[in-house]
Structure 1
Amino acid sequence: MPAYNEVNTIEEIVQRVLDTGLVYELIIVDDGSTDGTREILDGWREHDTIRVHFHEKNSGKGAAVRTGFDKATGEVIIIQDADLEYDPRDYKDLLQPIEEGRADVVYGSRFLGKPARKMNFWHRAGNTFLTLVANVLYNLDLTDMETCYKMFRAEVVRDMPIKASRFELEPELTARVAKSGYRIYEVAISYYGRDFDEGKKITWRDGFPALWTLIKYRFVN
């Protein structure tokens, strides 16, 4: 769980994750928060299930996820944002294709029919475009490449040489998984998107490095 300045949501999302009863370890990586998030996390250092790691400066979501992957010891890993946009009650649906041996990686799609707070037009358009580019370049059939909810067999990401530091993480993960030939499955998830007034951090500017990442990794490793 990468976290940056999520003091208003961190306690609730952590409780929701623990309430699933499916979590062996919850790794939270604070990416240089300055709003009080760090102090809350500091109080969980001795928790039986929660493992807290701190970045001294803000390095980006990709950097926080890399730290989380490095520290993970379980057999299955999922990325969980620290806001309340994604619902941990969807974990069981994401896990099922992996448990049944049908998938190595499962994406939670916000566009397959579960209840969702509609995202704004430009966010949806950008996501649709980037997903299309990923499908064309890597011969995929995804509906939501940019989703946060990506669940992996641990061996898929354990030695993956991820370079992304910011929001280009999603296309890099997709590119590397596809080029490695892993089986990708999509399931429907619910979604409760935030707007910028509520703390959403990704902007249209992040679309350009995401596009470049998809193109770059089509031709290099």
Structure 2
Amino acid sequence: MAIQKLSIIIPAYNEGNTIHLILDKIKSVALTNDIEREVIIVNDCSNDNTEFAINAYQHANPELDILYFKHEVNKGKGAALHTGISKATGEYLIIQDADLEYDPFEYNDLLKPVINGFADVVYGSRFMGSNPHRILFFWHTIGNRWLTFASNMFSNLNLTDMETCYKLFDTKMIQGIQLTEKRFGFEPEVTIKIARIPKIRIYEVGISYYGRTYEEGKKIGWKDGVRAIYCILKYGLFKSK
């Protein structure tokens, strides 16, 4: 499939120290077939220098197409993604965290199944392939695998990493889904809902993972895991809209 533009959605909360680094990586990626890129940053009411860092970067790098939006109150990662998705104009969009855990140089790996005409949705899995993975938390890994297993039971998919950040979607398709989860419940909700689309083609590719510790800025916690379980039941078992 011919793709003219890729929208890169970045939810940002207190990422003033690193967001310029991820933008540098995005700017330097040579996308397959000279695909254009637009970067949509949604600042979820950060209380650090995130806004200043973004504005400074825009001023210094006008060649990178950056669209900036800000929530006046903190709503959560899911809500920031809702805003970003609604503003996307590329044929496809990808979700990119503002930290350095995921590598934009792997965008082309996720785009390949779409460009070759096989996929509508591509997930980047941290649990497959031979790319580098930082060794961190045992119980986080167990939790991620269990949540993926539970999600697969209700979606009838065989994903290895439902909780991954890297998700590539057909823009019109994802814009046509009613998404309601405002925090980390976004991941199971969107996965279960896309799985219900008739004849949807979902692929997975292996990606790198440069995880952070909590001291380095990691934000997800056990309460988000509990919410994910609730969302799997809500959108899977009860088929909630």
Q: Which residue of 2 is the match for residue 101 of structure 1? A: 117
- Pick from 119, 122, 140: which aligns with 1:123? 140
Give me the whole-angstrom Cα distance separating, in 2, the residues matched to 1:214 and 1:180.
17
Kindly report which structure 2 residues correspond to 1:1-150, keeping only aligned pairs within 5 A, or say none. 1-22=10-31, 23-44=36-57, 47-48=62-63, 49-113=65-129, 114-150=131-167
Give the SS at the match of 2:215: helix
Residue identity matched to 1:220: S
Deviates more, 1:188-197 or 1:34-43: 34-43
1:220 maps onto 2:240 in alignment: yes
Residue identity matched to 1:217: Y
The C-alpha deviation readout for 1:9-56, integer Å capped at 9, x for no partner, is: 100001101111335200010111111011112335563511111111
Give the SS at the match of 1:56: coil
TM superposition score normalised by structure 1 = 0.96
Residue identity matched to 2:168: M
Contact 1:108–1:187 (CA under 8 A) maintained in structure 2: yes
1:157 maps onto 2:174 in alignment: yes
- Please provide the CA RMSD for this pair: 1.2
Contact 2:94–2:166 (CA under 8 A) maintained in structure 1: yes
Give the SS at the match of 1:24: strand
Give me the whole-angstrom Cα distance separating, in 1, the residues matched to 2:128 and 2:220.
22
Calculate percent identity across the aligned residue pairs.
51
Give the SS at the match of 1:199: coil
State the shift of 1:104 in Å: 0.6
Quick one: structure 1 residues 180 and 119, their matched pair in 2 at CA, closer, same or farther if it must change by over 3 Å? Answer: farther
Task: Show structure 1 runs of 5+ residues with no match.
Answer: none
Give the SS at the match of 2:20: helix
Residue identity matched to 2:196: K
Give the SS at the match of 1:192: coil
Residue identity matched to 1:24: R
Task: Show structure 2 runs of 5+ residues with no match.
Answer: 1-9
Deviates more, 1:17-26 or 1:100-109: 17-26
Contact 1:45–1:52 (CA under 8 A) maintained in structure 2: no
Contact 2:38–2:90 (CA under 8 A) maintained in structure 1: yes
Q: Which residue of 2 is the match for residue 187 of structure 1? A: 205
Give the SS at the match of 2:193: helix
Residue identity matched to 1:61: K
- Pick from 177, 194, 201: which aligns with 1:177? 194
The C-alpha deviation readout for 1:48-67, integer Å capped at 9, x for no partner, is: 51111111121100000000
